Structure 1
Amino acid sequence: MSELGEYLRACRARVSAEQAGIPSSGHRRVPGLRREELATLAGVSVDYIVRLEQGRAKSASPEILTALARALDLNADEREYLLRCAADSTGLTVTAGPSTPRAQRVSAATRVLLDSMPGVPALVLGRRMDILAWNTLGAALITDFGQVLAPHRNHIWLSFLDPEVRALYADWEKVARECVSYLRMDAGRYPEDPALARLIGELSMKDTDFRHWWSTHRVRAQRSGRKDFLHPLVGEISLDFQVMDVRGTGDQTLLVYTAEPHSRSAQALAFLAGWATAGQNTAVDIAGETSPR
């Protein structure tokens, strides 16, 4: 079965007949909409739904996919993912972004930007949620990325498979579920990325939660939210995060954490920034045999 077929089946299973405005007709053997019901709601034939789900459809027009998305009550991120799956399965042209991975390089200007925000934890994320660059406070908040092996310098790998990073999150399950949905979004953008396939395979093999959540086909783009940390140095700290595109790259984003002004979290973040800067200066002094700054 194709990714498009699996995704349609997963979406069907999440929509009840009542949600779709279809009168319930007694006990159902499987959850969600039947193929016949989806076909009626979308205005297509049942046979076409079958062929889409079995990966036998040779074409899929944007109009039909839009009708399916509407019938399945998909949000904007889910509709984008549906179109990308269709592009991969049927050759439909999708103009929402590239499908062939390019080399991931962080520009000198972006690195200067990171270093110019000493009071704000910041990371540059690439495809697959790879951590491409970070500032001192970003490393102090999460982990010393410079000591992490390059293949494991990945936000979702660390969140699932690094015990210390995993323990940072007060609500790890919520964070982990979101990470899986972000990664699923990337899988739609870059279906031919071998590194992404290896990452998914490793996580599926090593973590049962990832394997289960991956199979639900939830998709979501990274934008903003809040994370609660249990930091070993400063304790509980609640931070808002924003994800912004790095213009001109197409596949890099800037992840920034901020605290509510004058809050305990803001005080904790300021203390962590001072601690991280002092540690960095000490390391420089020792390496360069200079006097303390």
Structure 2
Amino acid sequence: MTTTAPVTATPQPPRGAEIRRHELAAFLRSRRERIAPEQVGLPRGTRRRTPGLRREEVAQLSAVGITWYTWLEQARDIQVSVQVLDALARTLLLDASERAHLFQLAAAADPTPAASCPSVTPALRETLRALEPFPACVQNSRYDILAYNRTYARLMGDLDAVPPEDRNCMLLVYTDSDWRAAIVHLEETMRLMAARLRASMAGHLGEPAWKMLLKRLECESPEFRENWRRYEVVGNRSKTKEFLNPYVGHLTLEHTDLWLGPQAGPRLVTYTPKNEETRERLERLYELAAGPREPREQRTP
């Protein structure tokens, strides 16, 4: 009698997606365990045995379900939105390199300006430089600051000290204490900017980066929520603006948008002095501005 040996299936190596899920799970655990509760405003307590944060704490701080987050750390095959990845990156206090690694492991594109932005040409950089001592920057229709010169960096505090992913005029006006203190007519400015954002957003409904910005503003600013509920819409226009600069004092400036293409997308924003006193103070501010003289630009981590 002839017997046939049982056929044993050859183990297949893990697929790329599965490997990424396990790497993502390990990375999240390692980042969670390194953060002390005090770093995110939580009490340590006397019975904590978990190093760093608990899973439920990360889920709560990121506004996601505990079951869903647990599955993520268990390398389950689940879909992860860029909004959730952004929230996790903030909760886990990831730096630029760690944030880029998180999105890469999740096979997702980071929509923040810190990760990707329209290229700023050498000619445009030279224009920013040539405009000094007048403040100038390049923004997109979502108010992300894509590049800026030395004087703009110190117009409302220290923009260089702001993390690249937070260099957004809407966020700064509504949540940054330095910017809020520098704007003379703050309430009017906030209401106008919310109305301009609503007008711009009509052409970008459903896009992840816009949804992320809107959700963050609504979560972090009661004033934004109130202004957003007004459903006001305002187009772009030049106007006089006043600032209380922390370095040189009161500035009265004419704000102008110069569009860089046929569509209402990226624009060159300039501030020119309305009087001789402001002109002299801008010159002093330019001399006081620290750091290299090259216009700053968002770069891929």
What's the TM-score once normalised by structure 1's chain length?
0.57
SS of the residue 1:106 aligns to: coil
Q: Does the 8 Å contact 2:241/2:255 carry over to 1?
A: yes
- Cα distance change on mapping 1:103 and 1:217 into 2, 3 Å: same
* CA positional deviation for 1:273: 1.6
- The CA deviation string for residues 207-234 of structure 1, in whole angstroms up to 9 with x for no partner, is 1111011011111222200111111111
Matched, 1:272 2:285: yes
SS of residue matched to 2:131: coil
Deviation of residue 282 (structure 1)? 10
- Report SS of the residue matched to 2:142: helix
Name the CA shift for 1:282/1:123 in 2 (closer, same or farther; >3 Å). closer
Evaluate the alpha carbon distance shift between residue 281 and residue 214 of structure 1 in structure 2; reply closer, same or farther with a 3 A threshold. closer
Q: CA RMSD in A?
A: 2.2
For these two proteins, the number of residue pairs brought into alignment is: 179
Contact 1:241 1:255 in 2 (8 A): yes
- TM value normalised by structure 2: 0.55
Where 2:258 maps in the other structure, the secondary structure is strand
The structural deviation recorded for 1:106 is: 2.1
Q: Is residue 2:249 matched to residue 1:235?
A: yes
**Greater RCO structure (CA 8 Å; 6+ sep):** 2
The residue correspondences of 1:79-90 to structure 2 (distance < 5 A) are none
Q: Match for 2:271: what amino acid?
A: Y
2:256 maps to 1:215: no
Aligned equivalents of 2:181 and 2:191: distance in 1? 15
What percent of counterpart residues are identical? 28
1:111 to partner: Cα distance: 1.4
Q: Give, in whole Å, the separation in 1 of the partners of 2:192 and 2:212.
A: 20
CA gap of 1:114–1:243, structure 2 versus 1, over 3 A, is same
Name the structure with the higher helix share.
1
Give the 3-state SS of the residue equivalent to 1:240 in structure 2. strand
Aligned counterparts, 1:2-13, within 5 A: none
Query: Contact (CA 8 Å) 1:223, 1:244: kept in 2 or not?
Result: no
Superposed displacement of residue 274, structure 1:
2.1
> Which residue in 2 is equivalent to 1:40?
none
Amino acid at match of 2:274: E
Alignment equivalent of 1:244, drawn from 253, 258, 272:
258
User: Offset of 1:239 from its aligned partner?
Assistant: 1.0
| Closer/same/farther in 2, CA of residues 282 and 198 from structure 1, 3 Å limit | closer
Corresponding letter in the other structure for 1:162: D
Q: Confirm whether residue 253 of structure 1 aligns to residue 279 of structure 2.
A: no
The residue aligned with 1:29 is none
Question: Aligned partners of 1:146 and 1:280: how far apart in 2?
Answer: 9
Ranges in structure 2 where 5+ consecutive residues have no aligned partner: 1-115, 295-301
